Structures are given as structure tokens and as C-alpha cells.
């Protein structure tokens, strides 16, 4: 496993400032909002996104100023808003091994709190006085929603292709990582060439993140907090199965395609599709795709030149590829 702890320790003071700012900006005169948000913020995730904002700013020559901290905090708040709303949509009861807001209270409160996070993120990014950063935050929710709607549309119309898969994960996952490096680059006043390099790197980073997440769904793991085959239960067909279904000459392919076309699947049918995806080489293909994208991402960062210390961002990338949850 790639060691991320060294980076996290190096960024500890910055992350503490980011988390303090988030807590301050989310504070309210309403006791219920404070209780819900207090409980939610007590269970933090990996915080990869604010880390990417800070690391990008540093890589491009900026000190970690109030502007960088505000940029990272606004990204993290918008990300959390999307998670809160996702938990409602997916009817999830746990996240980070803790009860979700919708499980502890109800969907009504969860949606309102998610909206509160969105508004607070928008308010905070205004403090950067950078219209580019404001545009990034304002348009991000649109991209995330588009990705989710594309996935729902494709599932309803049984539209399955590798091209459409990458379009979906670019919108619903990679766009958030692209926003992170944009915020860091803007805070560093980076030129357009460096901004383009960072955007291309973040796109590949986000695609790797989602592919790895999708691979998890084909194997049972208590640490992930979701059942195997959850994506298929929701009608989501991801890269391993997409590749396996493309192997029309492989035994069982026609049966798997017919099964998938039924729509609603029981546990045995889901298990059958997972088994086929694994046997037909879908996992191997997804993992080889991860390595290909990783190499491309490293080549992209190398365009910054030999003096650029890209090691922390590449370490983050290696971490998300090697992680087990």
C-alpha cells in the first residue's frame, strides 16, 4: 500500500485550518442544524480533495494563504453536500462506518442540510474575490448532477459502452478533482499552460478514483460499508462488466447480456453477473486500465518540468489505485 500518511502529516496544519474554517462557516443559530452538522463533521473521510487543492497551489509556487484555505474548504463543503444528497438517493444508512444523516434523522433534514452545505460553499468562495474560482464552484454542481443523470438515463435505456462509461465518470467524479486543481492553480496565479496540465492530470486522477471504486463492487468487503453488487442493484454497469460483455465469443456472454436486459435483478442474478465479469477478464482489464491511466497522468505532470516536485500528487494517485477501501 502506498503510504499517504507522510503527506497527511505534512499537511496537518493546513487541513486543521480548512476543517476549522468549514466548522465556522457552517455554524448556525439553529440548534438542530448545529447538531446534525456537528455529528456529520465528526466523521471525516480521506479529505483527498482539499489535499489536492493545497498540493496544487504549493506545486505551482503559492504559499498556503487564506485564499488557498478558503478555496479548499469550499470544495470540501460542496463535495460533502453531494455525499449527503447521494445518501438520500441511494438510501444509504452508513458512511465512514457512521450513520448517515438520512438514517439518523430523515430525508427531509438530509436534503436541507445538503443544500445548506452548498450555499455555505458558495458564500465562502466569494471571499476569494476570484471570479474564476466562483465559476468553478458554481458550475461544479451542474457537472456532478449531469453525470448522475447520464448514468440513470443509460441504465433506463440499457445503453452500455466504454465510451459512455468514461463520459459518466468524467462528469460525476473526475470533474470534482479537476475543480480542486483549478482552485489551487487560481490561488497560485498559474499561467494557462500549467492550468491545462493540472486539469489533464486531475481528469485522469478522477477516472482512476472511480474505476477503483467500481472494482470494489465486485468483491465482498466489510470495510467498504456497502454490499457486493450494489451498483448492479441500482442499474449501474461499470467498466469490468462492460468489458466482459464486449467479449461476445466468451462462454456465457449471451446469457449475461440477456440477464442484464431484464432490469430488476435478484441476489443470485447479480452474483451470476459478477462471476461472469470476473471470469471473462473484466477485473483484469479494469486494473490494466488503471495502470495505463496512471502512467499517462505521470507523463502529464512531467510536462511541468524537472524542477517541479510532483511526488506528493503522484503519491496520492498511487494511493487511490492501491487502496483497499
pLDDT value at residue 324: 79
pLDDT value at residue 17: 96
- Alpha-helical segments (H) within 42-174: 48-59, 66-90, 101-104, 107-126, 131-156, 162-169
pLDDT value at residue 2: 56
Spacing of C-alpha 42 from chain mean position: 20
Q: Which of 33-42, 143-152, 285-294 has the highest mean pLDDT?
A: 285-294
What's the CA dihedral at 171, 294, 325, 233 to 10 degrees?
Answer: 40
Q: How deeply is 291 buried, as exposed, middle or buried, from its count of CB atoms within 10 A (0-12, 13-18, 19+)? A: exposed
Q: Is the pLDDT of residue 307 over 70?
A: yes
User: How many whole angstroms separate alpha carbon 323 and alpha carbon 314?
Assistant: 14
Q: Is the pLDDT of residue 325 over 90?
A: no
* C-alpha pair distances (Å), 272 with each of 154, 257, 312: 21, 11, 40
Q: Is the pLDDT of residue 74 over 80?
A: yes
User: How many whole angstroms separate alpha carbon 321 and alpha carbon 151?
Assistant: 23
Q: Is the pLDDT of residue 68 over 80?
A: yes
User: How many whole angstroms separate alpha carbon 311 and alpha carbon 302?
Assistant: 10
pLDDT value at residue 131: 95
pLDDT value at residue 224: 43
Give the three-class secondary structure for 16.
Answer: helix
Task: Find the distance separating the first CA and the last CA of the chain, reported in whole Å.
Answer: 11
Q: Is the pLDDT of residue 59 over 90?
A: yes
H or E segment to which residue 177 belongs = helix 175-187
User: How many whole angstroms separate alpha carbon 294 and alpha carbon 314?
Assistant: 9
pLDDT value at residue 151: 80
pLDDT in tens, 210-261: 999 999 989 865 544 445 678 888 778 999 999 999 999 999 999 999 888 8
CB atoms within 10 A of CB 296: 15
Measured in degrees and rounded to the nearest 5, phi and psi for residue 98 equal -130, 155
| pLDDT band, residue 88 (cuts 50/70/90) | confident
Q: Is the pLDDT of residue 20 over 90?
A: yes
Q: How deeply is 305 buried, as exposed, middle or buried, from its count of CB atoms within 10 A (0-12, 13-18, 19+)? A: exposed
Q: What integer is the mean pLDDT of 74-91?
A: 88
pLDDT value at residue 222: 52
CB 16 within 8 A of CB 64: no
Q: Is the pLDDT of residue 157 over 90?
A: no
What's the CA dihedral at 202, 206, 209, 214 to 10 degrees?
Answer: -160
pLDDT value at residue 1: 43
User: How many whole angstroms separate alpha carbon 13 and alpha carbon 52?
Assistant: 15
Q: Is the pLDDT of residue 147 over 50?
A: yes
pLDDT value at residue 6: 87
User: How many whole angstroms separate alpha carbon 164 and alpha carbon 220?
Assistant: 26
- Alpha-helical segments (H) within 217-310: 230-233, 239-246, 253-261, 267-279, 282-302
CB atoms within 10 A of CB 61: 11
| Cα radius of gyration rounded to whole Å, the chain | 20
pLDDT value at residue 103: 87
Structure letter (DSSP) for residue 98: E
Amino acid at each position: 500500500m502506498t503510504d499517504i500518511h507522510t503527506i497527511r502529516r505534512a499537511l496537518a496544519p493546513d487541513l486543521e485550518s480548512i476543517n476549522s474554517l468549514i466548522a465556522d462557516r457552517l455554524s448556525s443559530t439553529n440548534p438542530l442544524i448545529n447538531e446534525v452538522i456537528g455529528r456529520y463533521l465528526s466523521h471525516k473521510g480521506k479529505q483527498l480533495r482539499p489535499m489536492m487543492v493545497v498540493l496544487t497551489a504549493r506545486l505551482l509556487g503559492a504559499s498556503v494563504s487564506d485564499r488557498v484555505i478558503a478555496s479548499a474548504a469550499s470544495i470540501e463543503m460542496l463535495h460533502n453536500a453531494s455525499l449527503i444528497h447521494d445518501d438520500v438517493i441511494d438510501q444509504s444508512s452508513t458512511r465512514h462506518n457512521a450513520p448517515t444523516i438520512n438514517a439518523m434523522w430523515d430525508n427531509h433534514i438530509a436534503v436541507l442540510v445538503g443544500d445548506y452545505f452548498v450555499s455555505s460553499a458558495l458564500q465562502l468562495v466569494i471571499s476569494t474575490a476570484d471570479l474564476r474560482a466562483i465559476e468553478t464552484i458554481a458550475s461544479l454542481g451542474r457537472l456532478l448532477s449531469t453525470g448522475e443523470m447520464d448514468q440513470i438515463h443509460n441504465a433506463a435505456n440499457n445503453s452500455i459502452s466504454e465510451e459512455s462509461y468514461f463520459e459518466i465518470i468524467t462528469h460525476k467524479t473526475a470533474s470534482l478533482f479537476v475543480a480542486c486543481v483549478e482552485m489551487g492553480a487560481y490561488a497560485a496565479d498559474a499561467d494557462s499552460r500549467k492550468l491545462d496540465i493540472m486539469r489533464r492530470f486531475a481528469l485522469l486522477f478522477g477516472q482512476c478514483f472511480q474505476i477503483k471504486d467500481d472494482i470494489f463492487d465486485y468483491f465482498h468487503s466489510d470495510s467498504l460499508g456497502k454490499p457486493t453488487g450494489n451498483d448492479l442493484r441500482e442499474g449501474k454497469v461499470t467498466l469490468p462488466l462492460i468489458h466482459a460483455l464486449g467479449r461476445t465469443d466468451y462462454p456465457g456472454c449471451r446469457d449475461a447480456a440477456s440477464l442484464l436486459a431484464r432490469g430488476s435483478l435478484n441476489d443470485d442474478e447479480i452474483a451470476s453477473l459478477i462471476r461472469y465479469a470476473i471470469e471473462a477478464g473484466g477485473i483484469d482489464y479494469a486494473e490494466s486500465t488503471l495502470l495505463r491511466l496512471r502512467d499517462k497522468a505521470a507523463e502529464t505532470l512531467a510536462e511541468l518540468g524537472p524542477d517541479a516536485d510532483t511526488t506528493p500528487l503522484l503519491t496520492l494517485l498511487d494511493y487511490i489505485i492501491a487502496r483497499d477501501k
